[in-house]
Amino acid sequence: MKIMLNAKGWQIFEPQTTLSGYNRPVNEKISSGFRKIAIAPHPSLPEANKEAYKIAQFLKQQGQESLMAMLYEEKLVQSIEKHEIDLLIVLGGDGTMLRAGHICGPYDLPILGINAGRFGFLMEIRLNEWKQYLPRLLKGDFWLEKRMMLYCSHKRNGLELSTHHVLNEVVVGRGKAVRPVHLETHVDGRYLTTYVADALIAATATGSTAYALAAGGPILPPELRNILLVAVAPHLSIDRGIVLAEGSSVRVIVHTDHDALLCIDGQSPIPLIDEDQVDVCAAEHNACFVRFQDPGYFYRNLTPHMNRNPATGIPR
């Protein structure tokens, strides 16, 4: 299957043995369907920056226009908002991929992840493999995986203070004090329960292998569009994860006499006070990942990660 960008958007073509233009010599310039490709390395990873420059040079040699910038750099964000970018290549770890999802999700912009970190569960290729895969990218020899994102709203006294697009999870929980918070939880407008816990996680299928998994939640295939609720250290409360139907909405009302926090995808926490409200539902947009592996990659990659956590940096 080939995926190419044209005036009608992303189009899917079934593979053909004699497809015109797809049997060029490797060293011949390739004319892709991309107008401009952005390259964003993690700023604190020297090797990622070094390879990003090499990728930019490679794309230039192929006649492909590109833009190199750091994530959240103004020129990159503005180019994405203006729909001037057709693909974002990020070099880093899973945190980099999450940040890329926040930026690109609202614009349905595809992301190719190149792993320059330790874990890289969301990334598609290793740092030393891009020379092998970028020619395939330019030929349209890939598929797009769409993953559901969440939309989160933080309200206080009926006033909306902030909104967020979420790829992994929304966490509502205690702050520095080692004391549980009371989290009154409603699903689709109906009261579910009040958790007395360190935190409550509302996760996507993508986030089911992150914090929710560490808290004892189930693993969901990435194509599912469900919301997963998992309590962290619940005391005399529901201690099993709950998988909600697609389209469900969750409301969490915080009851506490000490500090509490809202955390989105592991970013800097947002302070919560008593009676603050956090609403979570499926976002209108998806995170869109470029994949070269067959769709069965998820389970194939899951087992090695479960047997040894790469984040420890300890060789087996």
- What is the CATH number for 269? 2.60.200.30
pLDDT tens digits along 133-159 = 999 999 999 999 999 999 999 999 999
State residue 152 phi and psi, 5-degree precision. -120, 135
Helices (H), the chain: 46-61, 74-81, 94-104, 130-139, 211-214, 297-307
44 lies in some domain? yes
* pLDDT for res 303: 72
Active site residues: 94
Whether residues 133 and 88 fall in one domain:
yes
Using pLDDT thresholds of 50, 70 and 90, give the confidence band for residue 310. low
Using pLDDT thresholds of 50, 70 and 90, give the confidence band for residue 300. confident
- Mean of the per-residue pLDDT values for the chain? 87
* pLDDT for res 220: 95
Contact at 8 Å (CB) between 127 and 47?
Answer: yes
Whether residues 133 and 171 fall in one domain:
no
pLDDT tens digits along 62-86 = 999 999 999 889 999 999 999 999 9
Whether residues 300 and 223 fall in one domain:
no
Is pLDDT at 57 greater than 70 in this prediction?
A: yes
* Tokens (6 digits) for 101: 């999802």
299 or 283, greater pLDDT: 283
107 lies in some domain? yes
25 lies in some domain? no
- Whose CA is closest to 171, among 147, 207, 146? 207
18 lies in some domain? no
304 or 91, greater pLDDT: 91
Strand partners, 191: 186
Using pLDDT thresholds of 50, 70 and 90, give the confidence band for residue 44. confident
* pLDDT for res 119: 76
| Full DSSP string of 117-182 | SS--SS--EEGGGHHHHHHHHHHT--EEEEEEEEEEEEEETTEEEEEEEESSEEEEEE-SSSS-EE
Whether residues 227 and 297 fall in one domain:
no
* pLDDT for res 17: 29
Whether residues 174 and 62 fall in one domain:
no
Residue percentage of the chain with pLDDT more than 90: 78
14 lies in some domain? no
156 lies in some domain? yes
Contact at 8 Å (CB) between 307 and 300?
Answer: no
61 lies in some domain? yes
pLDDT tens digits along 84-134 = 999 999 999 999 999 999 999 999 999 999 999 777 889 999 999 999 999
Whether residues 244 and 298 fall in one domain:
no
* pLDDT for res 34: 92
pLDDT tens digits along 156-214 = 999 999 999 999 999 999 999 999 999 999 999 999 999 999 999 999 999 999 999 99
- The domain total for the chain is 2
Cα dihedral sign for 286, 263, 120, 75? positive
Is pLDDT at 232 greater than 90 in this prediction?
A: yes
Whether residues 182 and 298 fall in one domain:
no
Per-residue burial over 26-38, b = 16 or more CB atoms within 10 Å of its CB, e = otherwise: eeeebebbbeebb
* Tokens (6 digits) for 47: 């090797």
User: What type of residue sits at position 202?
Assistant: A
Whether residues 118 and 206 fall in one domain:
no
> How many degrees, rounded to 5, is the angle at CA 36 between CA 27 and CA 5?
85
* Tokens (6 digits) for 79: 């180019």
* pLDDT for res 129: 94
Structural domain including 36 reads 2-9+31-142+292-312
91: domain CATH number is 3.40.50.10330
* pLDDT for res 29: 40
Whether residues 228 and 279 fall in one domain:
yes
